[in-house]
């Protein structure tokens, strides 16, 4: 019998130990500044230059591009390197799974990536670092260099649909895996959160690693409330044999 396919579904709590704030936790960004949600809501962002200027400043301050993978990210990549089939389904946009060593083709970024920017008019993509450098040099709302359109991070903002191709691939993984580990996610943002239910219905062992309760706890075979940086490596070690 081969090794089980392990799906790791990661949310914001996976990256807090790397210094990236979460959104909905007790100290989350939305709890501290409810108005901040407008900065990542597509309709507000597109309609209001002031919202865009604030959003660019927020990106520069969060400095997510300088974040490094933590022990949890490294443990996932190590499990994959050791020969266990692993797929990462992530709500995170920080790219830390890939930086930790997970092959990009095995990471499905449900909410896009903050490491690139995209023009909302011509869809040209470029690097976030370049865009932030333009902001630092005095362009508060840098337009697309090719067509002059509005630039936004290559993330899925509130009010935008998930990429149906990426969601379909993630759904196939959820239906086909033997183990589904949801880590650091409130499992409240749909449709991504429904992947946990899909996996459980298909017969996978559902493990939830999260500080707070989630709507999918009743379906879980195992619930872990310990800090993710220590809990996940210990959990994954079971599947490395």
- The per-residue pLDDT for range 51-76, each reduced to its tens digit, is 999 999 888 876 666 789 999 999 99
Q: What is the pLDDT of residue 58?
A: 84
Beta strands in the chain (DSSP E): 6-10, 86-90, 107-109, 112-119, 125-127, 151-155, 179-183, 205-209, 222-224
Token pair of 236 as six digits: 């994954």
Domains 1-20+68-111+161-241 and 22-66+115-155 share a fold: no
Tokens describing residue 98:
């890939």
Is-contact 20 94, C-beta < 8 A? yes
Q: Which residue in the block uniquely carries the two structure tokens 């990236």?
A: 20
Overall CATH class of domain 1-20+68-111+161-241:
alpha beta
Residue 213 confidence (pLDDT):
95
| CATH 3.30.1600.10 assigned to 22-66+115-155 | yes
Edge-to-edge strands, sheet with 151-155: 125-127, 112-119, 151-155
Nearest-CA neighbor of 103 among 95, 94, 113, 115?
Answer: 95
- pLDDT value for 64: 62
At residue 153, the pLDDT reads 95
Q: Give the active site residues.
A: 111
Model confidence pLDDT, tens digit, residues 28-54: 555 556 677 888 899 999 999 999 999
Distance (Å, whole) CA 23 – CA 11: 10
Q: pTM score, two decimals?
A: 0.90
Kindly give, in sequence order, each residue whose CB lies less than 8 Å from that of residue 180, ignoring residues fewer than 6 positions away.
7, 9, 174, 195, 196, 199, 200, 204, 205, 206, 207
At 37 the pLDDT is 83
Of the candidates 212, 169, 204, 170, the residue with the CA atom closest to the CA atom of residue 187 = 212
Domain ranges of the chain: 1-20+68-111+161-241, 22-66+115-155
Distance from C-alpha of 207 to C-alpha of 199, rounded to nearest angstrom? 11
Question: Which tens digit of pLDDT belongs to each residue from 87-114?
Answer: 999 999 999 999 999 999 999 999 999 9
Percent of the chain residues past pLDDT 70, beyond the cut? 92
């Amino acid at each position: 019998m081969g090794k089980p396919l392990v799906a790791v579904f990661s949310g914001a709590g996976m990256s807090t130990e790397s210094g990236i704030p979460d959104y909905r936790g007790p100290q989350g960004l939305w709890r501290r500044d409810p108005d901040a949600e407008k900065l990542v809501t597509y309709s507000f962002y597109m309609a209001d230059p002031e919202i865009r200027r604030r959003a660019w400043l927020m990106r520069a301050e969060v400095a997510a591009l300088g974040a490094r993978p933590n022990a949890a990210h490294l443990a996932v990549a190590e499990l994959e390197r050791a020969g266990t089939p692993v797929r990462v389904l992530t709500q995170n946009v920080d790219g830390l799974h890939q930086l930790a060593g997970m092959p990009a083709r095995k990471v499905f970024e449900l909410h896009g990536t903050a490491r690139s920017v995209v023009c909302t008019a011509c869809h040209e993509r470029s690097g976030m670092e370049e865009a932030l450098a333009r902001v630092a040099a005095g362009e508060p709302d840098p337009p697309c260099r090719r067509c002059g359109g509005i630039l936004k991070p290559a993330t899925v903002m509130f009010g935008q649909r998930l990429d149906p191709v990426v969601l379909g691939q993630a759904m196939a993984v959820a239906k086909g895996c033997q183990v589904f580990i949801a880590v650091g996610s409130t499992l409240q943002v749909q449709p991504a959160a429904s992947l946990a239910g899909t996996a459980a219905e298909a017969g996978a062992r559902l493990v939830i690693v999260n500080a707070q309760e989630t709507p999918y706890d009743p379906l879980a075979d195992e619930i872990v409330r310990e800090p993710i940086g220590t809990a996940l490596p210990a959990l994954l070690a079971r599947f490395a044999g």
